[in-house]
Structure 1
Amino acid sequence: MELRPSAHIDTFARDHLPPADQWPGLLLDLPGPRRPDRLNCGAELLDHGLERYGADRPAVRDADGAVWTYGQLRGHVDRIAHTLTTALGVVPGNRVLLRGPTTPWLAACWLAVMKAGAVAVTVLAAQRSRELATICEIARIRHALCDLRCTEDLDRAGVPGLRITTYGGASPDDLLRLAGEAPTSYEAVATSADDVALIAFTSGTTGRPKGCMHFHRDVLAIADTFSARVLRPTADDIFAGSPPLGFTFGLGGLVVFPLRAGASTLLADRGGPERLLGDIGRHRVSVLFTAPTAYRAMLGLLRDAPGRYDLSSLRRCVSAGEHLPAATWHDWHRATGLRIINGIGATELLHIFLSAADDAIRPGTTGAPVPGYEARVVDADLRPVPDGVPGLLAVRGPTGCRYLADERQRVYVRDGWNLTGDTYIRDADGYFRYVARADDMIISAGYNIAGPEVEETLLRHPDVAEAAVTGRPDEKRGTIVAAHVVLRPGVPRSEETVTALKEFTTAELTPYKCPRVFVFLDELPRTATGKLQRFRLRDSAQGAQGAQGAQGAQGAQGALQ
């Protein structure tokens, strides 16, 4: 398709879109509000939302109960946007890295980047310096807005030419101090609907992260499909959840969807299942976004302390990020009377594209295509397979995969379809049932973990000769990372060695990627040609404890909060 003229001065993002023949087929004839050629999603979500719902409506809440109205939120956003363009020299199309815990200020920074016509690259507060350096290299980032509490790893990344502006401190050049002197209104840059608004990074099976580029119209499309047609929020809803804004699951569920509906959102920078349950009662949360792991953990708390938590305000529960077992769905329904809206999404498609709500829910299935999307199950040659036969999930809709200058685009998009890497079965009634991942990606507590990335980290430790990483089933997290390690001669297979490897990986990787189990082996299983046989490691992992001199260890605390 032909792109509309860009408003970007820095054209790097558009210049590095995949070739037209590698794009997914897009279904753009959507119901809902008209989408003009000139479209700024930040202005649409905030300015136009304020016009529709009023300046005095609550918009954003923090963990301590402070509330910003839509008018106050726009004031903060516009001051930051002015500061970006005048004091910091950001021009439309520049990539701006955003880093910090989930707070109202992080959301305000994201909206300001949108209104300034720049490209947001939101990363996790827990990501380490090596990961940050790689992201900055791939996206050629020269500006960063960082919560003062999260600067250490970004400083250590040593990104050439990166200007880091912190917020939340007392220095004269703190972003919020600079913004305090800026005008209170800002006219959003008239970006094209086809201008890149954000680059979301996701791990690849090779370990090198992939940058997924999404347009301004894509941000609104996810609100006008899954949110409007399946979730169906109201302006009186209060959203909350555990996914960080560095994940598109969190960005959609905690920023885009509530603002599009004129609702409010709780952005709390501390969490855990117990805190999440408490927040529902304290803040009268009505819409909850989290992963199956958290629902299981909350069920345990509800069983252990019946009557302690007030969930009477809750009316919508959304689960994504990993497979939701039917048993978890039924247990939650029995405990709360609420039916979880299950769904599958992908960073490549920005948000959820298979789901079902209310009476359409069938526990144990993911659901049906979200209105606006199409899905099918295909074989390796992209031919649809009969209902009831497992195959590869193929999806297309108003959003789709556009990797930033990455040859893996050819793998993810074929003949106009996005191939998600999941094996599914389509039932005769049109519902889709999850089977397994089709690649070596590990999904733990809703987080994608590329095994090769963890392996490369382990191999940098002087005591490690070889390493292979697989997923191991786990009752609480769905899957955990198991590291199969061949140690160098003379290194003992001891708890001290396990501790050393734990500490090393924790210092190098985001905590949720770190191995939670270590298995020490004499050698890794390989074919005659030297290819690693991961399936043998997966099979042996079940009985490896003790059988092969394995040493189990709990890894770093996971990032799901």
Structure 2
Amino acid sequence: MELSPSAHVDTFCRDRLPPFPLWPELHFELPELDYPDRLNCAQRLLDDAVERWGADRPCLLTPTERWTYGELLHRANQVAQVITEDFGIQPGNRVLLRGPNNPWLVAAWFGVLKAGGVAVTTMPLLRAAELAQLHDASLPVVAVCDHRYTDELEAADTPGLAVLTYGGHGAQDLTRRCAVKDGRFSNVTTAADDVALIAFTSGTTGRPKATMHFHRDVLANADTFSRYVLKPRQDDVFTGTPPLAFTFGLGGLVVFPLHTGAATLLIEQAPPEQLADLVAEHGVTVLFTAPTGYRAIMAAGAVDRLAGLRRCVSAGEALPAQVWEEFHAATGLRIIDGIGATEMLHVFISAADDDIRPGSTGKPVPGYRAMVVNEAGESVPDGEPGLLAVTGPTGCRYLADPRQTTYVKDGWNITGDTYIRDQDGYFWYVARSDDMIVSSGYNIAGPEVEKALVTHPYVADCGVVGAPDDKRGMLVKAYVVLRADVAPDETTVKELQNHVKQTIAPYKYPRAVEFVTELPRTSNGKLQRGELRKRAHGAAE
């Protein structure tokens, strides 16, 4: 394998790519994936969009603002001027981005890519110690930070990091600096396989892994999942809840809409009812959120405000068939489920429209291949559980991390999910491989028990993990958030246990039930089962 000559003066990223023998197999069979050797994805997504569709097309919307494609291009060019002229950013330098989903964060992301920099977008809720970890891994030169989110960044141990705020009123604020720039910038002609972004995994245990993605990778997800499954239109308005630091959000709220000339409504924060109101108010047609988001909109009685939607996408965690069925009955909409991974950048198994089978994740997205394998990497028969393995135009490249050898085996990305493939080629989620509970010799998938529990009218939310047990090795423990006016007593415990016994195999029922007011979730809505496991272990001790 040979990489194109890099445009990066700072070779930090390329120097830290895994050795070629540890890379996954990459293939580019679709005609859309035949990218030129020199490619800057910012040029393709933004400059070319203005040239094709005009500067006046609506691009970035908020509850109070409206930016056209031309305005975003002008401000992204100004950002590129500020970071290169005022801060000396060179191609290959990393720039940390921190803030909620808003237009200036998008302008900064494009400005960094235009300058040949590497965008390191971080979750806005991260604390100082977590930011220090991410800094140590990626060594950014400058941080561009929303002025409301500077406290934790300033408290973090990040020696030598220059902090540039935006959205405030100080003379040194990015917006003030941009105002004195003319907005003319010549994009750096990066290689298609120059690193464009570093994304950190949102895993709930251990040190976050830094994944490196090329300029061509950013476009590849638009030319596979978006083009062939989502099928967006120019008149679409996208919105959603995932942060842009979560690659599900970056694709769904920036890359996919701009790739097709559509608009996107950026929301900094919105509880379910407010999200539904914004969908109605702004004519949103494409919604990206997690299964918990769809469930919460239904619980809030706000589904009538989703009448204008034509596409709903779910990812982040498995979508229970019951949630799909309830949402479909309430709205007539078919939620597009999908599995993606930070290592793969976006969704690689999915289905839409008549191809959907509720409860199944779907089939490999055009451009990707997938199979279910055993620990030795051999394909298992259809109907049997095993490890999900996938290849395509994107794949795992950790930044100087020995865990590369765990994720990539024999050229396949091993995602850490247990799946079953049926005889029709549909993939059915069982559990995260580390969410399997072995109790008295039985393998029990925590998410399967959760799916059974949430069908009971008493249950608002739940998480299921294994708890240490002297007799069984582990027992199934459920943490349950009850709906209002349901008593958290032994009668309710028995009711829920009996419900699970009648819904799935009786041996899978939760022998321990603990009622809680909320469950630990990541900022992108993913259940932190690792935190629940720690709690269960602590309780057992």
CA distance in 2, matches of 1:479, 1:110: 36
Q: Does 1:383 align with 2:375?
A: no
SS in 1 for 2:372: strand
Counterpart residue number, 1:447: none
In the other structure, the counterpart of 1:232 is 231
Is residue 98 of structure 2 the alignment partner of residue 103 of structure 1? no
Paired letter, 2:398:
Y
Secondary structure in 2 matching 1:151: helix
Deviations 1:40-96 (A, max 9, x none): 0011100011112111110110122x2111111101110011101000111111111
Percentage of matched positions with identical amino acids: 55
Aligned partner of 1:322 among 299, 314, 317? 317
Give the structure 2 partner of residue 349 of structure 1. 344
Cα deviation, 1:482-514, whole Å, max 9, x if unaligned, reads 898xxxxxxxxxxxxxxxxxxxxxxxxxxxxxx
Q: TM-score, normalised by structure 1?
A: 0.81
Work out the CA distance in 2 between the residues paired with 1:286 and 1:550. 39
Q: Separation in 1 of the partners of 2:182 and 2:460? A: 47
Match of 1:247 in 2: 246
CA 1:554–1:288 in 2, change beyond 3 Å: closer, same or farther? closer
**Aligned partners of 1:293 and 1:477 also within 8 Å:** no
1:409 aligns with 2:404: yes
Please tell me the residue identity of whatever aligns with 1:257: F
Q: Give the match for residue 143 of structure 1.
A: 142
- Alpha-carbon distance, 1:141 to partner: 1.7
Query: Once the 2 structures are TM-superposed, how far is the Cα of residue 33 of structure 1 from its aligned partner?
Result: 6.8
Deviation per CA, 1:230-249, whole angstroms, max 9, x where unpaired? 10001100000010001000
Are residues 1:432 and 2:414 paired?
no
**Corresponding residue number in structure 1 for 2:58:** 58
Deviation at 1:204, TM superposition (A): 4.7
Which stretch of the first structure deviates more once superposed, 4-13 or 198-207?
A: 198-207
Q: Distance in 1 between matches of 2:315 and 2:479?
A: 26
State the distance in 2 between where 1:411 and 1:11 align: 25
- 5 Å-filtered alignment, 1:528-543, equals 536=474, 539-540=476-477
Per the TM alignment, residue 134 of structure 1 is displaced from its structure 2 partner at its CA by: 0.2
Q: Distance in 2 between matches of 1:267 and 1:42?
A: 19
Question: How do residues 18-37 of structure 1 correspond to structure 2 at under 5 angstroms?
Answer: 18-32=18-32, 34-37=34-37
After TM superposition, give the deviation of residue 420 of structure 1 in Å.
Answer: 0.4
Decide whether aligned partners of structure 1 residues 428 and 142 sit closer, same or farther in structure 2, where only a CA change above 3 A counts. same
- Are the counterparts in 1 of residues 344 and 395 from structure 2 also a CA contact under 8 Å? yes
Mapped partners of 1:361, 1:118: distance in 2: 40
CA distance in 2, matches of 1:361, 1:108: 36
CA distance in 1, matches of 2:167, 2:294: 32
**Alignment check: 8 A CA contact 2:135 2:158 kept:** yes
TM-superposition CA deviations, 1:235-280 (whole Å, max 9, x none): 1000000100010000000000000000000011121211110111
Q: How does 1:131-530 map to 2 (within 5 A)?
A: 131-204=130-203, 207-302=206-301, 309-439=304-434, 473=450, 475=454, 480=463
SS at match of 2:148: helix
Contact conserved, 1:333 with 1:339, CA < 8 A, in 2? yes
Other structure's SS at 2:305 match: coil
Task: Tell me if the contact between 2:464 and 2:479 (Cα under 8 Å) persists in the aligned partners.
Answer: no
**Change beyond 3 A, Cα 1:38–1:545:** farther
What is the identity, as a one-letter code, of the residue corresponding to 1:221? A
Q: Aligned-pair distance for 1:548? A: 9.2
- Unmatched 5+ stretches in structure 2: 438-445, 481-487, 491-510, 526-541
Q: Report the equivalent of 1:452.
A: none
Equivalent residue for 2:523?
559
- Contact 1:353/1:373, CA 8 A, preserved across alignment: yes
* Equivalent-residue separation in structure 2 for 1:432 and 1:373 (angstroms): 13
Which whole-Å CA distance do the structure 1 matches of 2:401 and 2:351 have between them?
33
Letter in 2 for 1:200: A
**Aligned letter for 2:88?**
G
State the AA in 2 paired with 1:32: E
Residue 321 (structure 1) shift? 0.7
Give the aligned residue type for 1:348: E
Matches within 5 A, 1:1-40: 1-32=1-32, 34-40=34-40
- Number of aligned positions between the proteins: 483
Look up the SS of the partner of 2:300 in the other structure. Answer: helix
What is the rounded CA distance, in whole Å, between the counterparts of 2:461 and 2:291 in structure 1?
Answer: 8
**Is contact 1:41-1:114 (8 Å) kept?**
yes
Q: Distance in 2 between the 1:328 and 1:482 partners?
A: 21
CA change 1:409–1:275 in 2 (3 A) is same
Check whether the contact 2:78–2:178 (CA below 8 A) recurs between aligned residues: yes
Contact preservation (8 Å) 2:242, 2:288: yes
Contact 1:205 1:441 in 2 (8 A): no
Closer/same/farther in 2, CA of residues 148 and 126 from structure 1, 3 Å limit? same
Read off the aligned partner of 2:52 and give its amino acid letter: R
Q: Is the 8 A contact 1:545 1:552 kept in 2?
A: no
> Given the superposition, is the C-alpha separation of residues 431 and 440 from structure 1 closer, same or farther in structure 2, using an over 3 Å criterion?
closer
Other structure's SS at 1:24 match? coil
> What letter matches 1:25 in structure 2?
E
Amino acid at match of 1:245: L
- After the TM superposition, which of the residue ranges 309-318 and 27-36 deviates more from structure 2? 27-36
- Deviations 1:153-194, CA, capped at 9 Å, x for gaps: 111112111111000111111111111111212111000000
* 1:70-125 alpha-carbon deviations (Å, 9 max, x no partner): 11110111001110100011111111110001101111111111111100110111
Q: CA contact under 8 A between 2:464 and 2:476: conserved in structure 1?
A: no
Give me the whole-angstrom Cα distance separating, in 2, the residues matched to 1:25 and 1:329.
34
Q: In structure 1, give the amino acid aligned to 2:255.
A: V
Q: Following the alignment from structure 1 to structure 2, what is the Cα–Cα distance between the partners of residues 6 and 400?
A: 20
Preserved CA contact (<8 Å) 2:464 2:477: no
Q: Deviations over 1:429-481 (max 9, x none)?
A: 11101111102599xxxxxxxxxxxxxxxxxxxxxxxxxxx999474786549
Is the Cα contact below 8 Å between 2:479 and 2:516 reproduced in 1?
no
2-structure distance, mates of 1:364, 1:212: 29
Q: CA 1:482–1:387 in structure 2 vs 1: closer, same or farther (change >3 Å)?
A: closer
CA distance in 2, matches of 1:107, 1:221: 19
Show CA shifts across 1:299-337 (max 9, x none): 1123xx67xx43232100000111111111111111111
Distance of aligned partners of 1:425 and 1:551 in 2 relative to their CA distance in 1, 3 Å threshold: closer
Distance 1:343 1:93 in 2: 32
Structure-2 change in CA distance of 1:556 and 1:539 (3 Å): closer
1:457 matched to which residue of 2? Answer: none
CA distance in 1, matches of 2:461, 2:343: 22
TM (norm. structure 2) is 0.84
Q: Is the 8 A contact 1:63 1:269 kept in 2?
A: no
**Alpha-carbon distance, 1:541 to partner:** 5.0
Question: Structure 1 residues 206, 62: CA separation in 2 closer, same or farther (over 3 Å shift)?
Answer: closer
Moved more, 550-559 or 5-14: 550-559
